[in-house]
Amino acid sequence: MLNKKITKLLIGTNNKGKLREIRDLLPINIKTYCPKDFKLKSPIENGNTFEENCLIKSKYFSNKTGLICIADDSGLEIDLLDKKPGIHSARWGGKNSDFKKAIKKVYRELKKKDPNWKKKKIRARFVCALSISYLNKKVVISKGKVEGKISSKPKGCNGFGYDPIFILNKRNKTFGEMKPSQKSSLDHRYKAFKKIKKFL
Residue in the shown chain whose Cβ atom is closest to ligand IMP: 161
Instruction: Using CA atoms of 149, 84, 142, 20 in order, give the dihedral in degrees to the nearest 10.
Output: -70
Site membership for ligand IMP, residue 163 (CB under 6 A): yes
Judged by CB under 6 A, the residue of 160, 173, 186, 195 near ligand IMP is 160
187 belongs to the catalytic site: no
Q: Taking each helix axis from N to C terminus, what angle separates 16-25 and 188-196, rounded to the nearest 10 degrees?
A: 40
Q: Which element (helix H / strand E) includes 78? A: strand 69-78
Residue 83 to residue 63: CA distance in whole angstroms: 32
Residue 82 to residue 85: CA distance in whole angstroms: 9
The greatest distance separating any two alpha carbons of the chain, rounded to the nearest whole angstrom, comes to: 56
Judged by CB under 6 A, the residue of 60, 162, 190, 193 near ligand IMP is 162
Site membership for ligand IMP, residue 62 (CB under 6 A): no
With CB under 6 A, what is the number of residues at the site for ligand IMP? 17
Alpha carbon of 10 to those of 18, 133, 174: distances in Å?
13, 10, 30
Q: Spell out, one character per residue from 171 to 190, where the chain touches ligand IMP: x when CB under 6 A holds, - when not.
A: ----x-----------x---
Identity of the residue, 90 or 122, whose beta carbon is nearer to ligand IMP in the bound complex: 90
Determine the residue type at 37.
D
Residue 125 to residue 145: CA distance in whole angstroms: 7
Identity of the residue, 29 or 37, whose beta carbon is nearer to ligand IMP in the bound complex: 37
Stretch that binds ligand IMP, among 3-11, 117-125, 134-142, 161-169 (CB under 6 A): 161-169
Identity of the residue, 28 or 44, whose beta carbon is nearer to ligand IMP in the bound complex: 44
Residues annotated as part of the active site = 73
Where do contacts with ligand IMP occur on this chain (CB under 6 A)?
15, 45, 73-76, 89-90, 102, 126, 159-163, 175, 187
